[in-house]
Structure formats: C-alpha cells, structure tokens
Amino acid sequence: MAKNRNVSLSVIRRLPRYYRFLGMLLDSGFSRISSTELSLHMGLTASQIRQDLNCFGGFGQQGYGYNVGQLREKIGGILGLDKGYPVIILGAGNIGRALANNMKFPDLGFRLCAIFDIDPEVIGQRMATQTVRDISELDEFCLQAHPKVAVMTLPTAAAPPLVDKLWQHGVTAFWNYTTYDIVLKYPQAEVENVHLGDSIMTLCYMIKEDCDGEA
C-alpha cells in the first residue's frame, strides 16, 4: 500500500470521512463516482479530493472516476482498519461504558480485549464482550496480552501513574478522554485526544459570535 510519512495531518483526518462516505455510497448501490460528485456530497472541492487521494498514489481514472468499492478498500488499508490492534479500556464509568457498547472496534482497526475499573460495584459486570476487571490485574494482563492501545476514560487525576505503568508495558498509543496531556511526558506516544469539554466550549464561542453579530 502506498504510504507517505509527509502526508499532513489534515489530509489524514479526512481519510476516515472519505471511508465513511464511500461506505454509504456502496450501501446505496453506487459502484463508481467522479471527484466532482464526491465533492458535492462532501463539501470539499473536486481538486482538493484529487489532491488528497493523490497523496497515496491516486486511484482515479480520467473520465471514469473512482471505483467506490476499490477506493474504500484502499483507504481502509491505508488507515490500517484490518489490523485489529489489541485495545484496553481504563475506566468503566459513563463514557467507558458508552464506548464499549457503541464503538464497532473490529471495523475501526481494533480488538477490545479488556476493561478495567477500580470500583468494586463495577468490577465483574458484563460490558459489551468483556467482564470488567480489577485494575490490580493490569500488570499481569499486560504481561500476558501485550495490549498496544489504551482508552483513557478515567478521572484525569488517576491518569498519570497509569500512563507510566502502561508505557513500561509497551502501550504506546492512547485514545485519551482525560485532560492529562500525555505527550508532554511521552513525546513519542501516539495520542488522539477527545476533549469533549473543549468541543462544546468551541461551540459556545461560535454561538456567541453569531448572537453578537446579530445584535
């Protein structure tokens, strides 16, 4: 598969969107599509789309457009969605539980292999495909199962010592819902932060700008 370390993060962030959208097209029975049609449905320019896809080798054919199924499969391959990286969830509270139940990990490149919590009320509960484990079992589990990725859905204050421990066990990628800034201590970690509070504060700003603009 064509890869390119110099591809910008903004291009990479668009790939899941292409992937999703091509899936919807497939479900609706489309087998090919031009970059112009893609652009109308995705709110990007056709030239932007051609540029994006050219970063990975260019899949289109002049005058024919893109084969929807092939393009989707190629983008899925670029993203690595067939990899099934072993992932653990730390924190089985509201968010951890929602992710365990809602995310289709196998379709997204991952394999959920354990959920940990500290709360005796929660430990032992069944959640998605897993039984919630006591956090005291984390070391032993890591030594046996070698998870690569951790979903951090625990209180921020609890995150730093656990990240230290996970890092020692070879967990180098984090889907981080806490506000602990992992890369400050571990610059080589792969971290995807999901700061829901920041997201809704940004929305607040946008609304305020609108309202003030109207006044």
> Interface with a copy of itself by CB under 8 A: which residues?
3, 5, 12-13, 15-17, 19-20, 41-43, 78-81, 83, 85, 93-95, 97-99, 101-105, 108-110, 148-149, 172-173, 175, 179, 181, 183-184, 190, 192, 194-210, 212-213
Shortest distance (Å) from residue 21 CB to a copy of itself: 9
Pairwise CA distance, residues 51 & 181, whole Å: 33
Please compute Rg for the chain using Cα positions. Answer: 20
Check the CA dihedral 43-45-48-54 and report its sign: positive
- Residue number, 73 or 181, with CB nearest to a copy of itself: 181
- Residue number, 80 or 137, with CB nearest to a copy of itself: 80
| Nearest residue to 128 via CA among 101, 105, 91 | 101
Shortest distance (Å) from residue 163 CB to a copy of itself: 15
- Residue number, 27 or 63, with CB nearest to a copy of itself: 27
Is the separation of the CB atoms in 7 and 55 below 8 Å?
A: yes
Residue 193 carries which side chain, given as an amino acid letter?
N
- Residue number, 66 or 175, with CB nearest to a copy of itself: 175
Shortest distance (Å) from residue 61 CB to a copy of itself: 25
Pairwise CA distance, residues 147 & 116, whole Å: 13
- Residue number, 92 or 135, with CB nearest to a copy of itself: 92
Q: How many CA atoms lie within 13 A of 28 on its CB side?
A: 10
- Residue number, 61 or 146, with CB nearest to a copy of itself: 146
Is the separation of the CB atoms in 174 and 149 below 8 Å?
A: yes
Pairwise CA distance, residues 149 & 170, whole Å: 9
Is the separation of the CB atoms in 100 and 130 below 8 Å?
A: yes
Pairwise CA distance, residues 174 & 132, whole Å: 19
